Structure 1
């Protein structure tokens, strides 16, 4: 029997090619990121990985210090539109900061509250919002200077719109995707999303 909640969800295509690992999936818990703030209840993260299913080699340096985002397999990997629509917002000037794994990730976690209080822009980093007419889809943490669209552009699913980065609230290069019902993210309501086959769970490998 079809899940009525998923039947009413916004249908999306995966916004990338290659191998990506799923994290913080709404298939595992809602709100998926531990909070309903910023209409993020049904958001999902995709971490690009290499043929060994690693985002980057982990060594002593990874354990002790921040690492350059360029070390990661997915940094700069193409990001595509997951749906047809009109580009409603673009932000492209946030820096790509170092990645934080091991002990540095603990220090970064301690500053999480300050980023939340700073609002959507601090969390999303570089992002593109696509208005489908029924919902707005946001693609976040893009690489600085990588966006290929402007506000008002019509896009079709599969069009190149930017590249994976490490801007905003991100511990390593990845793509954060969510949908909501208004451009006013602070007051918007989250919209459920689904892909062909449903919503992948945490740890699933998506290979497009």
Structure 2
């Protein structure tokens, strides 16, 4: 029988156009693992004209600087009202890996997982709302603009899109769990403004005025 997973509706944690990847609307677990309560996690990649960045011969053969991606540094917004539980900001933004470099990078994922959830999440913010904790991950180093104990409202800027942690190109990873410790927490399924977008969809977020 399908497992029962609680659900929480939130707004998109960004403005502008973003492509959906690793959506639980396509499969669960969405990222191929249930570790760290991530079974219903989802990724959003900032795009311009439908692409995260031009794909060049360098993209095929060599790592790329994250600054070459137009969405790098784009504001990441609180998707709900809550209290900031954690705000980590000191992981470096590593190169982006597309084409052949992505194969070698993927083979090292096990080492990052062995170091625990923070090594996978990179720079991140955790926001608690009625016992549910929403994580916004892979933020840009030095961009996190909130602190533990801060109250945030939907649309508040909490950081910027980066490429820290277990990330092949600048994007934001969003997941919700039923407690503050990802090592022990269970997943909470997220809906975004009433639905769950599928892989490849371009969704448009709008910052609250």
**Fold shared, TM-score > 0.5 on shorter chain:** yes
Shorter-chain TM-score: which interval?
A: over 0.9
Q: Deviations over 1:125-164 (max 9, x none)?
A: 0000000022000000000000110000000011011000
SS at match of 1:90: strand
Task: Quote the residue 2:32 is aligned against.
Answer: 34
2:79, 2:116 → 1: CA distance?
25
Residue 169 of structure 2 corresponds to residue 168 of structure 1: no
User: In structure 2, the residue corresponding to 1:162 is in which secondary structure?
Assistant: strand
Which consecutive residues of structure 1, in runs of 5 or more, have no partner in the other structure? none
Larger strand proportion of the pair: 2
Gaps of 5+ in 2: none
Aligned to 1:152: 149
Q: Look up the match of 1:105.
A: 102
| TM-score of the aligned structures, taking structure 1 as reference length | 0.95
CA distance in 1, matches of 2:5, 2:116: 31
The 5-angstrom pairing of residues 172-191 of structure 1 reads 172-191=169-188
What is the DSSP-based 3-state SS (H/G/I as helix, E as strand, rest coil) of the residue aligned with 2:13? coil
Alpha-carbon offset, residue 8 of structure 1: 5.0
Distance 1:185 1:6, change over 3 A: closer
Give 1:207 shift. 1.4
RMSD: 1.4
Q: What CA distance in whole angstroms lies between the structure 1 residues aligned with 2:35 and 2:6? A: 22
Q: How many residues align?
A: 203
Contact 1:6 1:192 (8 Å CA) reproduced: no
1:63 aligns with 2:60: yes
| Cα deviation digits, residues 84-132 of structure 1 (max 9, x gap) | 0000001000000000001100110110111111111110000000000
* 3-state SS of 1:191 partner: strand
TM-score, reference length from structure 2? 0.95
- For the residues of structure 1 that align with 2:71 and 2:191, how far apart are their CA atoms? 23
